Amino acid sequence: MKKIGKQSLIFCSGAAGYCLLELIWRGRTHWSMAAAGGMSLLLLNGLFHKLRGFSLMARSAAGGGVITGVELVFGLIFNRILHLHVWDYSAVPGNFLGQICPLYSFFWCLLCVPVALLTERATRRKTLPGA
Decide which of 22 and 1 is more confident: 22
Percent of the chain clearing pLDDT 70 (strictly above): 92
Domain span holding position 31? 2-127
Query: How many domains does the structure of the chain reveal?
Result: 1
Nearest to 109 by CA among 56, 73, 70: 56
pLDDT digits 0-9 by tens, 43-53: 999 999 999 99
Is the pLDDT at 131 greater than 60, yes or no? no
pLDDT band for position 130 (cuts 50, 70, 90): very low
pLDDT digits (tens, 9 = 90+) for 60-82: 999 999 999 999 999 999 999 99
